[in-house]
Structure 1
Amino acid sequence: MNQETAEPAAAEPACRFPHFTVLLSSTPRGARLARLLADAQLRSWGIPSDAARHIVGELAANAVTHGRVPGRDFRLTLYVVDGTLRIEVTDTRCERLPQLQQPAPGAESGRGLLLVDALADRWGVREDRFPRKTVWAELRCAPPEPAPTGPGPDGSFSQGT
Structure 2
Amino acid sequence: MLTLPGRDLASARTARHYVRDTCRSWRLPTDTTDDFVAITGELVANALEHTESPTVVIACALTPGTATVGVTDDGRSGGTPVASPSAGGSEAGCEGGRGLLITDALATRWGTRRSGGGLTVWAEVAIEATS
| TM-score interval, normalised by the smaller of the two chains | 0.7 to 0.9
TM-score (norm. length: structure 2): 0.82
TM-score (norm. length: structure 1): 0.67
The aligned residue for residue 139 of structure 1 is 125
The aligned residue for residue 70 of structure 2 is 88
Distance 2:129 2:51 in 1: 34
The aligned residue for residue 93 of structure 2 is 103
Structure 2 residue 106 is the aligned partner of structure 1 residue 126: no
SS in 2 for 1:102: helix
The aligned residue for residue 47 of structure 1 is 28
Instruction: Among all aligned residue pairs of Structure 1 and Structure 2, give the percentage whose two residues are the same amino acid.
Output: 36
Indicate the structure with greater helix content: 2
Q: In the comparison of the two structures, how many residue pairs are matched?
A: 118
List structure 1 segments (4+ residues) > 6 angstroms apart after TM superposition.
none
Deviation sequence 1:52-76 (CA, Å, 0-9, x none): 010000001011111233xx21100
The aligned residue for residue 42 of structure 2 is 58
Q: Which has the higher contact order (CA 8 A, sep 6+)?
A: 2
Shift of residue 40, structure 1, vs aligned partner? 1.2
Amino acid at match of 1:22: L
Q: 2:101 aligns with which of 91, 114, 119?
A: 114
Contact 1:94 1:127 in 2 (8 A): no
Deviation sequence 1:78-118 (CA, Å, 0-9, x none): 011122101100001256411313334xx6x4311100000
Indicate the structure with greater strand content: 2
Q: Which runs of 5+ in 1 are unaligned?
A: 1-20, 145-161
The aligned residue for residue 55 of structure 2 is 73
Distance 1:121 1:94 in 2: 27
